[in-house]
Amino acid sequence: MLQKRIDDQPTISRQMVREAQGILHRHLKQVGLKQTGQRDTILRTFLETRDHLSTDELHRLVQKKDARIGYTTVYRTLKLLAECGLASEVAFHDGISRYEHQYNRRSHHHMVCTECGSSVEFFSQEVGELEREIGRKYHYLTTRHTFQIYGVCEDCRRRDQASRS
Domain range list for the chain: 8-105, 106-165
Nearest to 146 by CA among 94, 107, 100: 107
Per-residue pLDDT 10s for the chain (165 aa) are: 444 444 555 577 888 889 999 999 999 999 999 999 999 999 999 998 877 889 999 999 999 999 999 999 999 999 999 999 888 887 766 777 888 877 666 667 778 788 887 778 777 788 888 989 999 999 998 877 777 788 899 999 999 888 887
Beta strand residue intervals within the chain, DSSP E: 53-54, 87-91, 97-101, 109-113, 119-122, 148-151
Query: Exposed, middle or buried, 74 (CB in 10 Å: 0-12/13-18/19+)?
Result: buried
Cβ-based neighbour number of residue 149 at 10 Å: 11
CATH number of 106-165: 3.30.1490.190
Report pTM.
0.70
Contact indicator for 82, 88 with CB cutoff of 8 Å: yes
Fold of the 8-105 domain = Arc Repressor Mutant, subunit A (1.10.10)
Distance, CA of 67 to CA of 105 (rounded, Å): 30
